[in-house]
């Protein structure tokens, strides 16, 4: 019950205060430029990296980027810039039932 109430408060604040949902709801922000760059903000850490796959931990779930010739151009505690040929971006939700 407390989780649902907290979610309602965040939704109300987002609407009334005109704040971005990614900030209020602790969601990742993903910005892609074609298939060559992907910039991901608000992640919880790097789980795995190779020249073909990047796996990031999110507050709820994981984000997987698949492709070829990956190079991490910038990495900070909650931000990462990846360069290469991006074929797939996959979101895995650890809480498939919602809430």
pTM: 0.74
Tell me the pLDDT tens digit for each residue of 25-71.
Answer: 678 999 999 999 999 999 999 999 999 999 999 988 999 999 999 99
CATH 2.40.50.140 matches 26-92: no
Neighbours of 56 (CB within 10 A): 22
Cα–Cα distance measured from residue 57 to residue 48, given in angstroms and rounded to the nearest whole number: 9
Q: Please check the confidence at residue 3 and state whether its pLDDT lies above 90.
A: no
Q: Please check the confidence at residue 17 and state whether its pLDDT lies above 70.
A: no
- The average pLDDT across 58-87 equals 96
Q: Which two tokens stand for residue 21?
A: 């949902």
- Please classify residue 14 by burial: count the beta carbons closer than 10 Å to its beta carbon, then call 0-12 exposed, 13-18 middle and 19+ buried: middle
Domain map (residue ranges) of the chain: 26-92
- The average pLDDT across 18-28 equals 62
Cα–Cα distance measured from residue 83 to residue 25, given in angstroms and rounded to the nearest whole number: 27
């Amino acid at each position: 019950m407390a989780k649902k109430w907290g979610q309602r408060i965040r939704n109300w604040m987002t609407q009334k205060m005109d704040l971005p949902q990614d900030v209020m709801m602790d969601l990742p922000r993903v910005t892609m430029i074609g298939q060559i760059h992907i910039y991901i903000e608000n992640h919880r850490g790097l789980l795995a990296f190779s020249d073909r796959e990047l796996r990031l931990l999110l507050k709820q779930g994981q984000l997987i980027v698949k492709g070829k010739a990956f190079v991490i151009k910038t990495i900070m505690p909650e931000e990462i810039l990846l360069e290469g040929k991006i074929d797939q971006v996959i979101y895995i939700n650890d809480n498939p039932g919602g809430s």
